[in-house]
Chains A and B, each alone.
Chain A
Amino acid sequence: MIKISSLAHVYEKGRSLRFPCWEIADMEQWLLLGASGSGKSTLLNIISGLLEPSQGEVLINGTDLYTLPARGRDRFRGRHIGIIFQRPHLIRSLDVLENLALAAVMAGLPIDHERNLSLLHDLGIAELAKNYPDQLSQGQLQRVSVARALVNKPDLLIADEPTSSLDDENANQVIQLLTTQAKDNGAALIIATHDRRVRDHITKTYLL
């Protein structure tokens, strides 16, 4: 269960943002909606433990994220939160399968190659396992980064505009995969988006 309360963030330039309280029960799927510049990415960064808020707290499964030491927070994020960015960032010196394995290694978990391969298979990119990021299209890269977010069976899956760079078919497949995989893994799902194609799949919304 995820809970944020009395959260506020002050930007370097002085602009400040307040976020309404938000409770997400286990395995709930939410859309995070808001005009661009309304702080969607900021909120996602705060929830994923990447950006310390000026005030307020983030509770994930009873753990207050920002009372953990920096190192513990990194580890917690690695094991409990899967993140899909707007741009698919993969390590370019590693191939697809190695990029997935990296997620486990960085979180200090054992590598499960079979699971990684089946994830790639579910995303329809099994044949790209040995390819390097430079050889993949934007859509394929995005699907790899979805797979990477799922590698450690996270409790919470966070996606920041995951479908913005994909065509209808790919977008549908990715949303399907996000929702079904989130369910299968017992993970809650937050998708920040303005993409209409996503809105049809998820009903709960949090508006900024």
Chain B
Amino acid sequence: MNIFKISSKNLIRNKLTTILNIILVAFGVGILSILFLASTQISSKLEKNAKDIDLVVGAKGSPLQLILSSVYHIDYPTGNIPAKDAYKLMQNPMVKRAVPLALGDNYNGYRIVGTDSTFSNLYGLSIQKGSFWHQDLEVTLGSTVALTSGLRIGDLFFGAHGLTGNGDVHKQHAYQVKGILKPQGNITDNLILTNIGSVYKMHEEKHVEGHSHVSAEEAKEINDKQITALLIQYKSPMSVILFPRMVNQSTNMQAASPAMESARLFSLIGVGIDTLQWFAIFIMGIAALSIFISLYNAMKERKYDLAIMRCLGASKSKLFFLVMFEGVLVTFIGSCLGLLIGHVALEVIGANQESAQAKLTGLTAIPQEIYLIWIGLFIGALASLIPAMQIYKVDIAETLTKNR
């Protein structure tokens, strides 16, 4: 029997009010923790995937779209660029490493990326089983792809045209799984890697088959050998200013910086995050008010309880602490529940997310979440301060002598 037990017994006695208050706090904290977790995870994912990529060169269009499609593999590519122009850029003395990408097909929503060995150097990929791709139509799977598709080394599968859906399957050629990558914790886990030749082959074949809807443009794409984008790493930081300008002005291609574009993207998302944040703070405010009102109202009835405890020898400060503790206990439970709700909700969101590329998870925690608990405790203390002050005003003798 201690203050903790007396408080919790009293809270249990007023179940409905207690539950209401806990739920209010939990919702506020829950929303805040979802925001914290999601924005941290998104920004760290953006950062991780763009690591070591200084510049992306691709077809003219939206620079953000170019970055999203060729670095994060979320959006559709802006178009194609002539392979010979791209190879010319790759020879530029300012370029330390250039990775060509040929996109266009998918398998069950996982993108098939035509590239060369520089790609594995750029991302520091290593093999878990089997080997890297060597010839046309050989692929190496990202770890998540291997896990969810159930494909094993030696298995054959057909890619589908487009970046999502299984509508237009390339039935003529089957890819063969040669190896599976170690989990990297970045976008490459969700990619299927092959050489550029395989991607050409897929589309060549289609042409040869003589589909009536094949446009002249598509035929040209194959004849002139085009690629989707080029990931570039500079030799020296000096090139940051010169190189993009050179690309944008002297070629028919555009250059986009992942750092700048993801910053821009984040500032766009930021508006929504801010709004939600204020909404959560508003809910927390309501929670504080609700706790205040319920404690304050309860004081009328509890005056007797507290007067008895005074009679039994409790000091005013002890009872002050008792009332404070009740408010703080409610917000503490609410905060913990809120964090739980936040994590579970984010895990559920992550599980139902369509794009495997930016999957969110509720299974990680960030240090800022501790602040949420502190904020919860602070709100509890603030809301119970005035009701607890009543202790000092209660006239015990009068309270106990008067009839209820």
Contacts and interface: CB of A to CB of B under 8 A. Distances in A.
A51 B401 CA distance: 12
A152 B318 CA distance: 19
Contacts of B10: 93
B interface secondary structure, majority: helix
B249 to A, nearest CB: 78
Q: Give the interface residue-count category, chain B.
A: 20 to 34
B344 interface: no
Interface string A91-134: 11110001001111111100100000000000000000000000
A71 interface: yes
A41 B400 CA distance: 10
A94 B308 CA distance: 13
A10 interface: no
B391 to A, nearest CB: 12
A102 B404 contact: no
Contacts of A7: none
B15 to A, nearest CB: 11
A105 B9 CA distance: 15
Interface stretch (A22-30, A79-87, A166-174, A195-203): A79-87
A162 interface: no
A87 B309 contact: no
A87 B6 CA distance: 22
Contacts of B88: none
Interface in A2-17: none
A108 B1 contact: no
A153 interface: no
A50 interface: yes
Interface residues on A, range: 35 or more
Contact of A78 (B6, B307, B313, B317): B313
Contacts of B1: 98, 101-102, 104-105, 111
B392 to A, nearest CB: 10
Contact of A74 (B12, B314, B403): B314
B263 interface: no
B220 interface: no
A77 interface: yes
A152 to B, nearest CB: 8
A204 interface: no
A107 B317 CA distance: 14
A78 B314 contact: yes
B12 A77 contact: no
A21 interface: no
Nearest to B314: A106
